[in-house]
């Protein structure tokens, strides 16, 4: 049995007929309530038809004390990354290390510096918004109790807040309907152990708070989206709650569409899209080089950065989410610069895994030695968001050799592999097919922070719900949109 379940059999054993009935009920609830994703097509275009998002049949167990710990830390992480984003000198040093080895991150920072030069260091909009997500895995050391280890912190396009709220409701419905049966393990499925997830409304609140701070009646929130966005419904739920709770209208557009129909007034600094005044720019695209295949996309990003619309995130905040920043913050002296309170700093550091650079420093030389001697204990990460980019275990040495130029290694970090429990079981339904097996769950906690980059004053700072993604234990990546994982809900134990 798993180290987190204390010898309790879970999930409850179901007959083949009961599993079929459960899968049908879950599928139909999902389709009825918008728990869906656009169907893939051969041309990668967004098809009009939709399918249910990959889901677990049961909520997955997660220790309540560690769940509470992760949620309780989110406002501290919000403030930490706001401070990092405000420190141009610190970020500039990071950029210099990545120069020549990560063209995309270098181009982002060059654009940031260009905007600063044009504005002479006086931003058109002092307020910036962060909708962050800090991701954790359970770590089970042989001689210690399970703990949480941070995988990464996302500062741009932190997804699945909309759909994750629905999964909790779906699992609660299935439980109340008696579809989980009465076999051993069903006693864990108590309503109070299956918390309602406020992520969709929480993230919409962040956008609404920023819109209110902008203060122009009738202005809109501009969702910057990918042209062929399969995950549109996750984003739509934020739009719906933004309108319902704040009376704010949202408009969706790609970078290319913004380049064509967006207007920036160099005098008033106002940004308009198709004539409508933009209060907040919310990026659900722009985090990958493939979003910038045309020069017009870069011009659109520049236009928005120059405007007085509140950015979510700004270019600096986007860059603060780089894996290199995460690696540097592992150094306690660096972390102390941003988190002077020793108690808070200790709580944050307790979630860190060991992360090493791949440069010419002593730590970089140590990393190279570890790659030679025990690559099975590590994961290699580039400066990228989205699933499918990491290199694991024994594949690392060969991958690095294929880069030819060792200077390119500096664009990666080497992270100690987190060791989650390997014997938690669940079933995942994807495209109507159910597969059972051992699974690993990753908890993401959302946070919203609005701050003034000139005075460094935090205006709003709150935790905003969570996401649980679950994959089979034999899968290395876990991204749902990338096709590796599923969306889950929490069963507190």
- Residues annotated as catalytic are 133, 152, 154, 159, 323, 381, 385-386, 469
Contact 323, 153 (CB under 8 A): no
CA distance linking residue 128 with residue 480, whole number of Å: 28
Name the nearest CA neighbour of 264 among 313, 201, 308.
Answer: 308
Give the DSSP letter string of 32-78.
HHT-EEEPP-TT----S-EEEPPEESSPEEE-HHHHHHHHHHHHHHH
Rounded to 5 degrees, φ, ψ at 69 are: -60, -45
Give which of 289, 287, 269, 298 is closest to 118, Cα–Cα: 269
60-62 and 490-492: which strand pairing? Answer: parallel
Residue 149's CB is within 10 A of a number of other CB atoms, namely 20
Cβ-Cβ contacts under 8 Å for 89 (sequence gap 6 or more): none
Residue 325 backbone phi and psi in degrees, to 5: -65, -45
C-alpha distances out from residue 31 to 46, 119, 164, 363, Å: 17, 48, 14, 50
Total residue count of the chain as it appears in this document? 493
Other Cβ atoms less than 10 A from the Cβ of 102: the count is: 24
Q: How far apart are CA 155 and CA 64, in angstroms?
A: 26
50-52 and 391-392 strand pairing:
unpaired
Residue 341: Cβ within 10 Å count = 11
Contact between residue 486 and residue 437 where contact means Cβ atoms under 8 Å apart: no
| Euclidean distance between CA atoms 142 and 351, whole angstroms | 17
305: alpha, beta or left? (left if phi > 0; alpha if psi -120 to 50): alpha
CB-CB contact of 320 with 80 (8 Å): no
Residue for token pair 């309602």: 196
What CA–CA distance (Å, rounded) separates 301 from 222?
13
Rounded distance, CA 321 to CA 429, Å? 32
C-alpha 335/C-alpha 346 separation (Å) is 10
CB contact at 8 A, 230 and 481: yes
Can you give the three-state secondary structure of 72-103, one letter per residue?
HHHHHHHHHHHHHHHCHHHHHHHHHHHCCCCH
């Amino acid at each position: 049995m798993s180290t987190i379940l204390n010898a309790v059999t879970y999930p409850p054993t179901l007959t083949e007929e009961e599993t079929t009935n459960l899968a049908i009920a879950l599928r139909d609830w999902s389709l009825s309530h918008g728990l869906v994703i656009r169907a893939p097509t051969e041309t990668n275009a967004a098809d009009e038809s939709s399918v249910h998002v990959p889901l677990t049949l049961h909520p997955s167990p997660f220790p309540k004390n560690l769940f509470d710990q992760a949620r309780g830390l989110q406002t501290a992480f919000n403030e930490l990354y706001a401070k990092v984003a405000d420190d141009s000198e610190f970020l500039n040093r990071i950029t210099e290390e990545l120069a020549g080895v990560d063209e995309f991150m270098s181009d982002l920072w060059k654009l940031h510096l260009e905007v600063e030069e044009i504005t002479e260091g006086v931003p058109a909009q002092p307020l910036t918004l962060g909708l962050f997500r800090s991701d954790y895995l359970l770590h089970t050391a042989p001689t210690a109790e399970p703990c949480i280890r941070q995988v990464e912190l996302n500062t741009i396009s932190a997804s699945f807040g909309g759909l994750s709220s629905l999964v909790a409701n779906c699992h609660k419905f299935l439980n109340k309907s008696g579809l989980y049966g009465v076999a051993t393990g069903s006693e864990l499925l108590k309503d109070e152990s299956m918390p309602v997830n406020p992520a969709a409304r929480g993230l919409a609140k962040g956008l609404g708070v920023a819109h209110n701070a902008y203060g122009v009646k009738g202005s809109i929130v501009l969702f910057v989206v990918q042209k062929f966005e399969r995950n549109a419904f996750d984003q739509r739920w934020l739009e719906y709650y933004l309108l319902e709770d704040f009376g704010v209208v949202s408009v969706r557009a790609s970078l290319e569409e913004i380049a064509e129909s967006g207007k920036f007034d160099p005098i008033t600094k106002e940004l308009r899209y198709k004539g409508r005044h933009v209060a907040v720019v919310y990026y659900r695209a722009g985090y990958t080089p493939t979003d910038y295949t045309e020069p017009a996309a870069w011009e659109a990003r520049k236009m928005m950065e120059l405007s007085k619309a509140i950015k979510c995130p700004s270019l600096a905040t986007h860059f603060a989410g780089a894996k290199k920043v995460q690696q540097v913050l592992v150094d306690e002296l660096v972390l102390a610069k941003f988190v002077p309170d020793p108690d808070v700093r200790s709580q944050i550091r307790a979630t860190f895994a060991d992360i090493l650079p791949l440069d010419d420093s002593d730590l970089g030389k140590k990393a190279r030695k570890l790659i030679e001697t025990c690559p099975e204990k590590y994961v290699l990460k580039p400066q990228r968001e989205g699933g499918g980019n990491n290199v694991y275990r024994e594949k690392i040495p060969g991958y690095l050799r294929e880069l030819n130029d060792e200077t390119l290694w500096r664009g990666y970090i080497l992270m100690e592999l987190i060791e989650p429990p390997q014997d938690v079981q669940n079933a995942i339904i994807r495209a109507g097919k159910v597969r059972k097996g051992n699974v690993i769950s990753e908890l993401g906690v959302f946070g919203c922070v609005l701050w003034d980059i000139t005075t460094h004053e935090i205006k709003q700072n709150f935790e905003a719900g969570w996401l649980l993604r679950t994959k089979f234990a034999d899968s290395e990546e876990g991204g749902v949109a990338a096709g590796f994982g599923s969306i889950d809900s929490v069963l507190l134990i």
